Amino acid sequence: NDEEFSYAKGTSNGPENWWHLNPKWKVCQYGKLQSPIDLRDRWVKVLPQLGELQKVYKPAPAVLKNMGHYITVRWNGDAGQLRINGNYYKLIQFHWHTPSEHTLNGLKFDLELHAVHQNSRGETAVIGIWYKIGSPDPFLSKLLNNIKSIRDKDIDLGVINPGDIYFRSRKYYRYVGSLTNPPCTEGVVWSFVKEVKTVSMEQLSALKGAVHHGFEENARPTQALKGRQVWLYNPNY
Hey, which residues are catalytic here? 69
- Give the pairing type, strands 155-160 and 87-97: unpaired
- Give the pairing type, strands 80-84 and 87-97: antiparallel
Cα-based distances in Å from 106 to 36, 89, 170, 194? 12, 30, 22, 14
Indicate the SS3 state at residue 105: coil
Residue type, position 120, single letter: S
Displacement of CA 1 from its chain's centroid (Å):
19
Q: Would you say 139 and 147 are in contact if contact means Cβ atoms under 8 Å apart?
A: no
Displacement of CA 197 from its chain's centroid (Å):
14
Buried b (16+ CB within 10 A) or exposed e, 209-223: ebbebeeeebbbebb
Buried b (16+ CB within 10 A) or exposed e, 37-50: bbbeeeebeeeeeb
Report the 10 Å Cβ neighbour count for 138.
11
